[in-house]
Amino acid sequence: MQKPTNSACEGCDLNQASNLKKLGINIDNNDYVVALAGNPNTGKSTVFNALTGLKQHTGNWPGKTVTRAEGGYNFNNNKYKIVDLPGTYSLLSTSQDEEVARNFILFGKPDVTIIVVDASRLERNLNLVLQILEITNKAVLCLNLMDEATRLDIEIDDRTLARDLGIPVVPTSARSKEGIPELLKTVHQVATGEIICKPHRIKNVPKNINNAIEKLRLEIEATYPNVPNSRWIALRLLDGDERIIEAVKTGEFITE
Amino acid sequence: MKTNKILNTSNDLRWQIGEGFHDKLTEGIYSDAATIAQNSVHKKGDAKRFRFDRSLDKIVTSKIWGFPIMILILSVVLWLTIIGANYPSGLLADLLIGEIYPWLKGIGESLGFSWWLSGFLFDGVYLALAWVIAVMLPPMAIFFPLFTLLEDFGYLPRVAFNLDHLLKKSGAHGKQALTMSMGFGCNAAGVIATRIIDSPRERLIAIITNNFSLCNGRWPTQILIASIFIGALVPENFAGAVSTLAVIAIALLGIFFTFIVSLFLSKTMLKGEVSSFTLELPPYRPPRFWKTIYTSLIDRTLIVLWRACIFAAPAGAVIWLISNVSIGDSNIANWMILHMDGFGLLLGLNGVILLAYIVAIPANEIVIPTILMLTVMSAAITGVGEGNGVMFELESVPATGDILKAGGWTLLTAINLMLFSLLHNPCSTTIYTIYKETKSVKWTTIASILPIILGFTVCFIVTQVWRILA
Amino acid sequence: MTNPVTLLIIFGIVLVLLFILFYPKTGFYWRLQQSYKTDPKILIEDILKKLYHAEDNGTKLSSDHIINSLNSSPKKILETISEMEDKELIRFKKGEIKLSETGMDYALRIIRVHRLWEKYLSEKTGFHKKDWHEIAEKMEHKLDSQQTKQLAINLGNPRFDPHGDPIPTETGEVEQLNGKPLPKFKEGAIGRIIHIEDEPEIIYKQILAEDLHIGSHIHIIEKNKKRIVFHSEGEEFILAPIVANNITISELKKEDISEKDTFRLSNLKEHEHAKIIGISRECRGEIRRRLLDLGFVMNTKIEVDLTSPMRNPRAYLVRDTSIAIRNEQAKFILIEKIKIHAETN
């Protein structure tokens, strides 16, 4: 995978980031749709505000955004629409929040998904990250709250993390807008295909379960050859997720 | 069908794996996460949480200080709201009702509006709107930002943590403490705030019982009636204190009903709903003062105000119409008052109060102006008021009391009004919000009807017992 | 104005009437509903179930037994029994009633629905354990075979109901439990709870009050005619043999016995450190998933972070985050205490 390089061009790219034109809600004719996912209390809405300039309220409280908030911005002459998903710990249960988030990533097929994580509690946040990486290939990890991590004496090697996860990692402190220009640039590169992600897939699964997943995955691929996340669908079928069973019947997740 | 084949395979495999798929999968993901984190995270110290957070948490959740701190903060917030709102409310009323209202009437006259058009538009629709804005906006503009500051700082989850055990006894969720507090500001906002409760049963309980939190629209009614009728019972020196105590007693009664009704709901209608409790205590984060004030104004205050206005405008029209359209030899309002008087008196209220609560369903704020207007009209009092269908309020508290007493009010009526103001259907903004949040006609109906049944029952019993004792 | 006393009396009478009519379960309205639906089908199915359970226990049933154990008029029961004989669901053998093959199939079908429904209640709803049986008792007469099939698929074709009873398969096969009632074991034996019988209600309620969990390991400490004492998950339990008889235990082989001392998270004291072993099978459905999602998974280190002023809930430090749960939920999380002073991680 490629990382945003520190070439001479970076200056001009960042310059363009400063040209960032902030748009309000309700923008049509978007070139790209970006989803914003993450655990509660990771400063997700602050990132959203930093990207759009929209004054969405950011509560220090789990599960604030129940319905999706939408906004938009311009970058490199492309219009981006950005959707703030409810903060969730996981996508495996069936709570209302999780369904909203899950359905958007699966059925809404965003061009890029930004996953916001709390740098000071990375391990816990990776639970959601790994699940999202089963669903989508195009994602950027936003390593937020770097300031808090530093205060806790935590150092994160973002290069190693990017290699292990197979997606670009951008450290940010959204409250002070640090790292936001880099985030915009990376999202753009993933959206345009300049960076190709090779996301990590969940490995530590017991053998009998893995065999079952593989068997089912092959069958799904035989019926729907173009499904990018067949393995994840297999996972959900084995967990008895009724929404996904319904989707398999109608084939709605493959409609391009 | 190919898809059926997939589903059949999946069913077979599920049977083979048996239970524990979800457990194994989650364990797998977390162990992957641990490996990845180990590769890239280097902790220099062993601090798992900020030392400041921990020390603060030890205090705010301590046995000795936990509850006093909470009560203190809530009291300060409510005090600031009620006291602080008086001045801007007065200013707004002067502007909207004292200045703009006559100006609008003047314009209507110069454009040659007929009396009914100008009455309908300005006395009905405009006046209701003006009243709602003047009375509703200032307290909300103070209450919500204060609340949001506490929320952003991270204190509110600690309140839920402290109070969960109490609330659990009535089958409710710790976070209901917050939606209740929010309800003291506005029930509609309180209902929206129940989104933070992730357990379906407890969320419904919180929604249905939020109405028992005495909202901003009802505090002024309680204070006014208490100072006219209850403060008058004791020597002047104590009047203020006694009437304040009476209002606090009503608010506490509301909390009592919240518990009783929560218990009742969780034992009966909500028995089968899933229930769980998990609560993350996030790190404290310094709120950004101005941004918070700005966003909470936009997010909460204006949205709620906008909804209230949408409902208030037609209500103003209705109030004006029933007072000016006649059937036979009396207008609709008088006719309704006459027919509801018997039932009203049975409850220790009267026809005017019942009619006022019917037409003022959009906002509790316009109950008192409506009652005054209807009282003056039905009792044919001359010399006060602005005419049929024109809501008004008087500067002087004793003068207001005189009108009410002329309308047949006694101490019993006052007590019952205070009770009924606590125990009646939610305002239409709240009902609409409940429907939006639950998407269920059944729960919306229950939430609307349950408090009014309680209100009737309580007022009836109080009245009859009072009559026996008197 | 009417006399207030009269009014209050009228009000009181109305209230009492409403109470009598609609009081849950015993209210007149509910009874009326009940009596409406004692149609022959339900009675047939109830008799079939009685016979099945009797055969399963090896006891013999006569018509008198059935009349005594069911809530219908003797005349109606006798009529139904003869009707069942005509339909070849049962046959008489020396005054004893036996299930025919068709009768057996029918009985298994009803039991399948009953146990599936209990499974459903435990996984997808918030009904308390003590209510499952009664609700399932009603639903077992209502679902047709297509609905039952769909229900089983939605639940992932479970093999056991929440009490540990095997659910008969669609073709009528029933797995056998390889365990024995608790009183059959000797002092010192170690086993696992595989089944808790939910009938009769009086005994089941006593077991519920003890808060024993299916799937937990037990170690029998003392056994005599008056009582059985055993340890499980760091707590001591004392049961009368008649109560213990409704708990089925499967003995553990030596290699399955772990050396670790298992405790419930609710037992963890402040300043103690522990590692999560797992979540009890008794914790189900949405609540179980939520706990897992929050990181209460095997091998996770855990310690008490904060205790609320009323000692419940408590917040635990799990994967660097403070998460509060109630003690009622913490009971389901099984831990092993560890001693650390100089932890490097």
Assess if residue A9 is contained within a domain.
Answer: no
Nearest CA in chain A to C154: A240
Residues of C in contact with A121 (CB under 8 A): 319-321
For helices B411-422 and B351-359, give the axis angle rounded to 10 degrees.
20
Best of C276, C300, C320 to disrupt the A interface by mutation (most A CBs within 10 Å)? C320
Angstrom distance (rounded) from CA C91 to CA C88? 7
Q: Are C286 and A95 inside 8 Å of each other by CB? A: yes
Same domain, A182 and A219: no
Q: How many domains does chain A have?
A: 2
C4 touches A at CB < 8 Å: no
Is B279 a domain residue? no
Q: Classify residue C315 by its DSSP letter.
A: E
CB spacing of B281 vs C324 below 8 angstroms: yes
pLDDT at C255: 67
Domain count, chain B: 2
Which chains sit next to A, with 3 or more Cβ pairs under 8 A? B, C
Q: Looking at the structure, do residues A158 and A241 belong to the same domain, yes or no? A: no
> Which structure tokens are listed for A210?
């893995």
B230/B323 same-domain check = no
The pLDDT value recorded for residue C159 is 84
Q: Taking CB atoms and an 8 Å cut-off, how many pairs form between chains A and B?
A: 176
Pairing relationship of beta strands A112-118 and A139-144 according to DSSP bridges: parallel
**Torsion of the alpha carbons at B414, B419, B424 and B429, rounded to the nearest 10:** 80
Q: Specify if B389 maps to a domain.
A: yes
User: Are A120 and C155 within 8 A, CB to CB?
Assistant: no
Please tell me which residue of chain C has the smallest CA distance to B174.
C313
Q: Are residues B118 and B259 in the same domain?
A: yes
Q: What's residue C43's pLDDT?
A: 85
d(CA C300, CA B185): 42
Paired sense of beta strands A32-38 and A78-84, if any? parallel
DSSP C70: S
| Chain B: partners with 3+ C-beta pairs within 8 Å | A, C
Dig out the tokens for B150 from the structure.
């506490």
pLDDT above 80 (res A145):
yes
Contacts of C274 (CB under 8 A, 6+ apart): C263, C265, C268, C301, C302, C303, C335, C336, C337, C338
By Cβ distance, the residue of B162, B271, B345 closest to C308 is: B162
The whole-angstrom distance between residue B157's C-alpha and the CA centroid of its chain comes to 21
| Backbone angles phi and psi of A32, in degrees to 5 | -135, 145
Mean pLDDT within C26-36: 72
Taking residues A234-241, what's their average pLDDT?
A: 88
The full length of chain C comes to 345
How does residue B1 score in pLDDT terms, banded at 50, 70 and 90?
Answer: low
The answer to whether the Cβ–Cβ distance between C1 and B58 falls below 8 Å is no
Instruction: Indicate whether B368 and B424 sit together in one domain.
Output: yes
**Exposure on the CB side of residue A21, measured as CA atoms within 13 A:** 9
The CATH number of the structural domain formed by C180-256 is 2.30.30.90
Chain B residue nearest residue C345, CA to CA: B46
Q: Are residues A73 and A168 in the same domain?
A: yes
Last residue of a domain, one of B239, B265, B295: B295
Q: Please report which confidence band the pLDDT of residue A54 belongs to, taking 50, 70 and 90 as the band edges.
A: low
Other Cβ atoms less than 10 A from the Cβ of A196: the count is 12
pLDDT score at A105? 86
Give the pLDDT confidence of A87-100 residue by residue, as tens digits: 889 998 777 778 88
pLDDT (average), residues A142-156: 91
CB-CB under 8 Å, B279 with C158: no
**Of B238, B265, B295, which residue constitutes the final position of a domain?**
B295
- Residues of A within 8 A of C290 (CB-CB) are 93, 95
pLDDT in tens, A161-191: 999 999 999 999 988 889 999 999 999 999 9
Cβ atoms of residues A36 and A15 within 8 Å:
no
State whether B421 and B330 are in the same domain.
Answer: yes
Residue A79's beta-bridge partner residues? Answer: A74
Mean pLDDT lowest among A145-159, B66-80, B296-310, C141-155: B296-310
**pLDDT tier at B206 (50, 70, 90 boundaries)?**
very high
Same domain for B288 and B333, yes or no, is no
Indicate which of A39, A61, A89, A122 best probes the interface with C, i.e. most C CBs within 10 Å of its own CB. A89
A185: containing domain: 18-192
Structure-token match 């402040």, residue found:
C270
* A162/A39 same-domain check: yes
Domain termination site, one of A143, A165, A192: A192
CB contact residues (below 8 A), chain C span 279-298, against chain A: 286, 289-290, 293-295
Which of B48, B162, B272 comes nearest C309 by C-beta?
A: B162
Q: Are residues B289 and B315 in the same domain?
A: no
A73 & A185 share domain: yes
Q: pLDDT band for position B286 (50/70/90)? A: confident
- Evaluate whether C180-256 and C262-344 have a shared fold: yes
The kind and range of the H/E element at C208 are: helix C201-210
**Band of pLDDT at residue C37, cut at 50, 70 and 90:** low
Cα distance from A89 to chain C (closest Cα, Å)? Answer: 6
ipTM exceeding cut-off 0.90 for this assembly:
no
What pTM did the predictor assign?
0.86
In chain A, residues with a C-beta closer than 8 Å to the C-beta of B274 are none
Across the interface, whether the CB atoms of B61 and C307 are under 8 A apart is answered: yes
> Same domain for B87 and B191?
yes
Q: What's the rounded mean pLDDT across residues B446-467?
A: 94
The domains of chain C are located at 4-30, 40-99, 180-256, 262-344
Specify whether A27 is located in the same domain as A148: yes
Of residues C145 and B46, the one with the higher pLDDT is C145
- Please, which residues 177-196 of chain A have a Cβ atom closer than 8 Å to chain B? none
Higher pLDDT, A152 or B420: B420
Q: pLDDT: is A129 or B330 the higher one?
A: A129
Residues B131-150 pLDDT 10s: 888 888 888 888 888 888 88
Establish if A150 touches chain B: CB-CB under 8 angstroms: no
Question: Do B262 and B378 have their domain in common?
Answer: no
User: Helix (H, G, I), strand (E, B), or coil: what is residue C165?
Assistant: coil
A49 and A172 in a single domain? The answer is yes
- Helix axes C145-154 and C101-124, enclosed angle (nearest 10): 40
Three-state SS across chain A? Answer: CCCCCCCCHHHHHHHHHHCCEEECCCCCCCCEEEEEEECCCCCHHHHHHHHHCCCCCCCCCCCCCCCCEEEEEEECCEEEEEEECCCCCCCCCCCHHHHHHHHHHHHCCCCEEEEEEEHHHHHHHHHHHHHHHHHCCCEEEEEECHHHHHHCCEEECHHHHHHHHCCCEEECEHHHCECHHHHHHHHHHHHCCCCCCCCCCCCCCCHHHHHHHHHHHHHHHHHCCCCCCHHHHHHHHHCCCHHHHHHHHHCHHHCC
| CATH class of the domain at C40-99 | mainly alpha
| A124 and A45 in a common domain | yes
- Give the Cα separation of C296 and C277 in Å (integer): 9
Q: What is the dihedral of CA B197, B203, B205, B211, to 10 degrees?
A: 80
Q: Which of A1-15, B447-461, C18-32, C276-290 has the lowest mean pLDDT?
A: A1-15
Per the model's pLDDT, the better-predicted residue between B152 and C17 turns out to be C17
- Determine, for residues C279 and B30 on separate chains, whether the beta-carbon distance falls below 8 Å: no
Q: How far is A130 from chain B (nearest CA, A)?
A: 7
Give me the residues paired with residue A143 across strands: A117, A171
Q: Nearest-CA neighbor of B173 among B256, B278, B88?
A: B278
Number of residue pairs across B and C with CB atoms under 8 Å? 147
Are B386 and B321 members of one domain?
A: yes
A223/B6 CB distance under 8 A: yes
Assess whether B241 and B359 both reside in one domain: no
Q: Candidates 3.10.450.50, 2.30.30.60, 2.30.30.90, 3.40.50.1820; correct CATH number of C262-344?
A: 2.30.30.90
- Is residue C124 less than 8 Å (CB to CB) from chain A? no
Residues C168-188 have a mean pLDDT of: 86
Cα–Cα distance for residue pair C57/B67, rounded to 1 Å: 57
Residue A61 pLDDT class (50, 70, 90 cuts): very low
Could you tell me if residue A122 is inside a domain?
Answer: yes
Pair C255, C319: CB distance under 8 Å: no
Q: Is the pLDDT of residue A113 over 90?
A: yes
Domain of residue A161, CATH code: 3.40.50.300
User: In which element (H, E) is residue C275 found?
Assistant: strand C273-279
Looking at the fold, whether A174 and A101 belong to one and the same domain comes out as yes
Q: Is residue B459 part of a domain?
A: yes
Q: A12 to chain B, minimum CA–CA distance in Å?
A: 30
Q: Are B364 and B215 in contact (CB under 8 A)?
A: yes
Q: Do A92 and C289 touch (CB under 8 A)?
A: yes
Name the residue among B165, B273, B278 with its Cβ closest to that of C290: B278
Q: Is the pLDDT of residue A6 over 50?
A: no
Q: 431-460 in B: which are within 8 Å (CB) of C?
A: 460
Helix (H, G, I), strand (E, B) or coil at C187: coil
Q: Which residues contact B139 (CB under 8 A, 6 or more apart)?
A: B81, B82, B85, B89, B185, B216, B219
Residues of A in contact with B284 (CB under 8 A): 60
pLDDT mean over B338-342: 90
Does residue B43 lie in a domain region? no
Phi, psi of B281 (to 5 degrees): -100, 95
**Does the beta-carbon distance from B36 to A200 stay under 8 Å?**
yes
Average pLDDT over residues B87-94: 89
**Would strands A139-144 and A169-171 be described as parallel, antiparallel, or unpaired?**
parallel
CA–CA distance from C315 to each of B202, B432, C40, C119, C327 (Å)? 20, 36, 55, 31, 10
Q: What is the reported pLDDT for C34?
A: 67
Asked if the structure places residue B51 within a domain, the reply is no
**Average pLDDT of chain B?**
88
Collect all residues with Cβ–Cβ distance below 8 Å to B172 and sequence separation of at least 6. B202, B205, B206, B209, B259, B262, B266
Range of the domain at B174: 64-273+284-295
